Chain A
């Protein structure tokens, strides 16, 4: 191949079969995340070398139960395997990952893979679990029945990786010849319809089958109007023969799979119908009451850890930032350059980088929840609540991911089948407090309750997260009743067995997210801090001995803050906070560094950067002499940040995912109006009650 790639290998299978573990084991860190041309779904590829040293490209396809798709995520897997994506070649070989402990179910999608006309290698993963369940699989018989190589594996322990690599490296690779047998009438209809469809001969049969398996709604949505009549007529003819066109292919595959399983699986001991460990755990974790308590307990533990464990590395980073800033000041002469490097660049970027440990801990917990299988239970528990606002429990997973960052959260909505539900979830996902809000909450909580203990601080933090959840649910309910009205979707969700999380995989994901965060800090946030520094330092006052407050007030940033002051004064904010708000519209976490520049925080004393920013803000007074950052103002700022749409990257991803500017613009308008209104109610309501 022209790009030096010997073979393109796609890795496919049901969710929770260990696809990602195999992908990571084969590619290591040689991975990249991109997008398929023309579609919004993420394309994860990696590189590995065959047993003869040739470069192979590995494509990690989203987990899918079938090629008869229901969500945008599954559609990508189908389209790639059928060669429907323009500019992307069909893979040369497919690794079909199946769970050996549940072969009769997982071979279903492998049966579909065998119909694609592409060489297939079956990765029979989790053979250790199958053995624990008393199942012995006759590999020779399975290979013979399927007509393709079958590699027994325990991917989590690296067993079978070399054999898998050898199997996909082999030349030549043969196309599968075995497949489920359909009734002859069905095959005749497939052949006739396939000839009318504009697809290559090798995929025409499967394309025809996908169309014949659609119901009326599916036909209206997915079938080209030019072929709709042909498909409907073929379906009608099949029905006259007593064949259900939708059910026949599914039943034929399951019958074929059942025959194979009967021949190749030997059970040792009694076939136990008793409860498994997962079932016993589920009795508690999916219980109406205990399930909720366990969920809230896990969330509380997560936030406590974010405070407790992250404290030490945050202090170390802060000390390094201060040391570098001090060193810079000793090396550079007094003046604008020194101020730019020390205050704008080092302190500005440092004030954001200091939150890296909290973000990594957040991703660690989310990884644990995902890998252990608990995330599906969270979706199940939340379905009771989600269905009350008209959404599916699946919508909660993108929302939970949005606690880390709205961008992966919004991308995770691709698993949601209904378009309107997906859009509602996209619209409300940024209301969940992302990690970029953490610095703002931490700073404000320190000002609000300077002498409070850890539990009180964590409690306030948790209540901000809860406010975001309540707002997201409320808005989802409103959108489902008005703008995106549709029926409440029915729950249909697989609960994977609980498993020990693959720590290596979680650390790899933390590393990826950490790199993204640091790259963002070194690019967008660095640029914003330099711009902000310039806006707060120019134009220079004519009187060089003018006090610092006067210099900032006359700067471009100061004037911009004053311009928006009338709009934010009812929320208790002054023009200096206004500068922070304007900066936050590019990236929320910039608020802390903006405050450090606005209040001209120096590093003359021994305190940490965050403490100095806090001290400067505590000392800030209004013109009346009253303190600026009263508890009420701090609360109002936090409420504003919970609800406001302030992240350009999120706006861009919403534009991409909805394929329109209409939705991101609407999102900006409704979220910021909501934020203003809620902050207004908090501040003015609090004042009416006599609070400060």
Chain B
């Protein structure tokens, strides 16, 4: 069977990477609030700090998110 690469999420992305939001899981309890904070599809995010919580730069602001929440945010890498 062909191996499918696991999807890249904000939780699994590396620190310092520039990312583009592909999709936010609609089951996520904070889905609408995430969108309203600027995590809408196509927005560009830079992951600044990793740990139990993650800090990322988004539209000029810094947002701290729990790791579990970041797993709901599917992203793709952007060229540096």
Contact = CB atoms under 8 A, between A and B. Distances in A.
Interface of A: 65-66, 68, 70, 101-102, 104-105, 108, 213, 215, 217, 244, 246-247, 250-251, 254, 273, 278-279, 282-283, 286, 288, 376, 380, 383-384, 387, 393, 490-497
Given A105-B59, A286-B49, A492 B36 contact: no
B69 A102 contact: no
B32 to A, nearest CB: 5
B35 A251 contact: yes
A213 B49 CA distance: 31
B53 A65 contact: no
22 contacts: A68-B33, A215-B26, A246-B31, A246-B35, A247-B26, A251-B40, A254-B35, A254-B43, A273-B18, A278-B62, A282-B49, A286-B55, A383-B52, A384-B53, A490-B30, A490-B65, A490-B66, A490-B68, A491-B69, A492-B69, A494-B37, A495-B55
Contacts of B52: 383-384, 387
A247 B63 contact: no
A362 to B, nearest CB: 26
A220 to B, nearest CB: 13
Contact of B32 (A105, A213, A288, A496): A213
B48 A108 contact: no
Contact of B60 (A102, A251, A254): A102
B51 interface: yes
A250 B65 contact: no
Contact of A383 (B43, B57, B62, B66): B66
A494 B63 contact: yes
Of listed B41, B60, B65, B68, residue having the most chain A CB within 10 A: B60
A495 B64 contact: yes
B9 interface: no
Contacts of A283: 49
B29 interface: yes
A492 B33 contact: yes
A251 B37 CA distance: 11
Given A254-B40, A282-B62, 5 more contacts: A217-B29, A250-B40, A286-B49, A286-B55, A494-B62
Contacts of A376: 64
A613 B22 CA distance: 68
- 9 smallest beta-carbon distances between A and B, as pairs: A491-B66, A495-B62, A490-B69, A490-B66, A102-B60, A105-B59, A250-B35, A493-B64, A66-B36
Contacts of B60: 101-102, 104-105
A368 B17 CA distance: 33
A282 B26 contact: no
A688 B47 CA distance: 55
B20 to A, nearest CB: 14
Which residue of A251, A288, A494 has the most chain B CB atoms within 10 A of its CB atom? Answer: A494
Nearest to A105: B59
Interface string B15-27: 0001000000010
A497 B33 CA distance: 20
A383 B52 CA distance: 9
Nearest to A489: B66
A495 B53 contact: no
Contact of A105 (B18, B26, B61, B65): B61
B34 interface: yes
Nearest to B43: A254
A108 B58 CA distance: 14
A98 to B, nearest CB: 12
Contacts of B36: 65-66, 68, 108, 250
A415 B29 CA distance: 17
B13 to A, nearest CB: 16
A380 B55 CA distance: 10
A492 B34 contact: yes
A378 to B, nearest CB: 12
A491 B56 CA distance: 13
B32 A246 contact: yes
A288 B35 CA distance: 28
A278 B63 CA distance: 12
A65 B61 contact: no
A622 to B, nearest CB: 52
Contact of A492 (B48, B59, B62, B66): B66
A491 B53 contact: yes
B60 to A, nearest CB: 4
A278 to B, nearest CB: 7
Contacts of A496: 61-62
A70 B31 CA distance: 12
A247 B37 contact: no
A384 B60 CA distance: 25
Given A250-B36, A380-B53, A384-B53, A490 B29 contact: yes
Contacts of A251: 35, 40-41
A606 B34 CA distance: 64
